[in-house]
Amino acid sequence: MISGGGTGGHIYPAIAIANAWKEEFPGSEILFVGALGKMEMQKVPEAGYQIEGLPVAGLQRRWTLENLKFPFKLLNSLMQARKMVKDFKPDMVVGVGGYASGPVLFAAQRMGIPTLVQEQNSYAGLTNKLLAKKANKICVAYPDMERFFPAEKIAYTGNPVRKDILDLSGKKEQALKHFKLKKEKKTVLVLGGSLGARTLNQAVLKDMKSLDKEGYQVLWQSGKYYFKDMLEKTEKTGLKNIHLREFIREMDLAYAAADVIVSRAGALSVSELSLVGKPVIFIPSPNVAEDHQTKNAMAFVSHDAAWLLKDQEAVGKLKLKVDELMEDPAIGLALGMNIKSLAKPDAAIAIRKEMEQLVA
């Protein structure tokens, strides 16, 4: 049983873990448990796995009426999670973080079933810190996680990523054709996540004319929340080298096309980008728990493996940073080599091996 979700940063590693297990043990039965109304309820079935949902939700940072419902939803989810675990009778339960992870692992631990926690970030979330006390194994993506978890339980495995990103060689020509990009122009790839990032969109809006004038082409994922507004504003300019997309499904091709990548610093993004091995400018979101995106980015910046541009400085300074990288290929090459040296391409297999030991 695999529980958790809420964002792609939790869901895609969970699916990668399931795939790695299924490849080795094709006769296994795998059940996902997610939060009702969250994206895992769609993405997991699309990946070919069964999922059940819990009514669990998180506390809002500001006071709302929804917060009054929180204790009731949590109690209901704990009861339902116990029933799911009891009915499915898993040999082990994996928690990847997110709202559903807590009730399911709590229930499994109370019933004496082996549990494994997978922490994607460099700063552990509250749910995982609580669950880790009784977990049998904790798989982490960053070194020095002993400040959050018992050292004897930690396995430094890295974050699992989608298989198509593991090898980009020979895909650039296909990528340029797919996105209708020009071979003679340098490509800036801008990624704000599936929902979008306001700051990144505003930064591109402000600099898109000068980026175009400089001779760059921009492949820009604006995200679901901002796409219509960005489309209206870009269409008025008539710029031919700004390629706006609501969402990019073919991420392997997008990475293959890119010369410089501008991205938020969510756990999944930084893990994928370490495998891509190209110069990256991280613009961490300040609107996340414990500022963990900045901590994720700094784990690479401290090894000269990426650059960091603060969220409050991004609008107005994005092009300056892009220019610096484009104008000095040696810097970009060094960043790409350094970030790739920190990659963990076999993370899903490493986690599977830890799982095997728990059910042996």
Identity at 329, one-letter amino acid code: P
CATH of the domain at 51: 3.40.50.2000
**What sections of the chain are H helices per DSSP?**
8-24, 40-46, 65-88, 101-110, 126-132, 172-178, 198-214, 227-237, 251-257, 267-276, 292-301, 311-327, 329-341, 347-359
Instruction: Answer for the pair 96, 3: CB distance below 8 angstroms, yes or no.
Output: yes
- Residues 200 and 81 placed together within one structural domain of the fold: no
Tell me if 30 is assigned to a ligand binding site: no
Q: % helix / strand / coil in the chain, to the nearest 5? A: 50, 15, 35
- Residues 170 and 248 placed together within one structural domain of the fold: yes
- The residues, any chain, with a CB within 8 Å of residue 164's CB and separated by 6 or more, are 251, 252
What is the model's pLDDT at position 224? 85
What is the C-alpha separation between 119 and 43, in angstroms, rounded? Answer: 20
- Residues 45 and 175 placed together within one structural domain of the fold: no
3-state secondary structure of 16: helix
Tell me if 294 is assigned to a ligand binding site: no
Tell me if 274 is assigned to a ligand binding site: no
Instruction: Answer for the pair 190, 218: CB distance below 8 angstroms, yes or no.
Output: yes
Residue 164's pLDDT band (cuts 50, 70, 90): confident
Q: Mind listing the pLDDT tens digit for each residue in 83-133?
A: 999 999 999 999 998 889 999 999 999 999 999 999 999 888 888 999 999
Q: How many domains does the chain have?
A: 2
Q: Which of 140, 93, 135, 94 lies closest to 120, judged by CA?
A: 140
- Residues 237 and 354 placed together within one structural domain of the fold: no
Residue 192's pLDDT band (cuts 50, 70, 90): confident
Among the listed ranges 219-223, 285-289, 303-307, which one has the minimum average pLDDT value?
285-289
Residue 354's pLDDT band (cuts 50, 70, 90): very high
What is the model's pLDDT at position 230? 95
What is the C-alpha separation between 13 and 20, in angstroms, rounded? Answer: 10
Instruction: Answer for the pair 159, 267: CB distance below 8 angstroms, yes or no.
Output: yes
Could you give the percent of the chain with pLDDT greater than 70? Answer: 96
- What pTM was estimated for this model as a whole? 0.87
Residue 171, token pair as written in the block: 């895909």
Residue 301: HSE in the Cβ half-sphere, 13 Å Cα cutoff = 15
3-state secondary structure of 262: strand
- Residues 56 and 40 placed together within one structural domain of the fold: yes
What is the model's pLDDT at position 68? 66
Tell me if 101 is assigned to a ligand binding site: no
Tell me if 96 is assigned to a ligand binding site: no
What would the mean pLDDT of 22-30 be, rounded to a whole number? 97
Range of the domain at 252: 164-341
- Residues 224 and 350 placed together within one structural domain of the fold: no
Q: Which of 251, 247, 249 lies closest to 226, judged by CA?
A: 247
Q: Are strands 2-3 and 93-95 parallel, antiparallel or unpaired?
A: parallel
- Residues 175 and 206 placed together within one structural domain of the fold: yes
- Residues 8 and 153 placed together within one structural domain of the fold: yes
Q: How many CB atoms lie within 10 A of CB 324?
A: 15
What is the model's pLDDT at position 306? 98
Instruction: Answer for the pair 245, 221: CB distance below 8 angstroms, yes or no.
Output: yes
- Residues 130 and 151 placed together within one structural domain of the fold: yes
Tell me if 9 is assigned to a ligand binding site: yes
What is the C-alpha separation between 142 and 162, in angstroms, rounded? Answer: 19
What is the C-alpha separation between 69 and 165, in angstroms, rounded? Answer: 41
- Residues 76 and 206 placed together within one structural domain of the fold: no
- The residues, any chain, with a CB within 8 Å of residue 103's CB and separated by 6 or more, are 3, 54, 56, 74, 77, 78, 80, 81
Tell me if 126 is assigned to a ligand binding site: no
Q: Mind listing the pLDDT tens digit for each residue in 330-345?
A: 999 999 999 999 999 9
Helix (H) or strand (E) holding 15: helix 8-24
- Residues 184 and 305 placed together within one structural domain of the fold: yes
Tell me if 8 is assigned to a ligand binding site: yes
Most confident of 3-12, 17-26, 52-61, 232-241: 17-26
Tell me if 293 is assigned to a ligand binding site: yes
- Residues 148 and 252 placed together within one structural domain of the fold: no
Tell me if 327 is assigned to a ligand binding site: no
